[in-house]
Amino acid sequence: MRVARVCLDCDEIHDAQTCPICASESFAYVSRWVPVPERRNGSRPARSEAAETYDQLVNPQPARSLASKVAKGALGLAAITAAGWVWQRIATPNKGPADSTPSNSKIAAK
């Protein structure tokens, strides 16, 4: 509606630079007589979950910095090391006081 023109020679409505009927270049915009509503009259509807997913696929989050990757790697390595230490402590049988006999027990028995 904003680009509709009326030819002043033959009263044809068109949107081209020249009239398609008479090839005249004299025109007037129709919006001069017919009011055009505002383009952004209301707010847009809420975005759907599918639109959010598509937006994330098309515009991915920026890559993390090298320092962030190194810090997360160090944290992961520390967690794996702690888990290995706990695993090793559980797998090794405990040596209690009964197992630890002094090697000089023969001398004390005499």
pLDDT tens string 48-105: 888 888 888 888 877 778 888 899 999 999 999 999 999 999 888 766 555 555 555 5
Q: Please, which residues bridge with residue 5 across strands?
A: 14, 29
Please tell me which residue, 92 or 36, carries the higher pLDDT value.
Answer: 92
Going across the sheet that includes 27-29, the strands are 13-14, 5-7, 27-29
pLDDT at 49: 87
- Report whether pLDDT(106) > 60: no
Alpha-carbon span 15 to 21, nearest angstrom: 12
The DSSP H or E segment spanning 81 is: helix 66-91
Q: Please, which residues bridge with residue 13 across strands?
A: 6
Which residue's entry shows tokens 């270049």?
A: 25
Contact 44, 58 (CB under 8 A): no
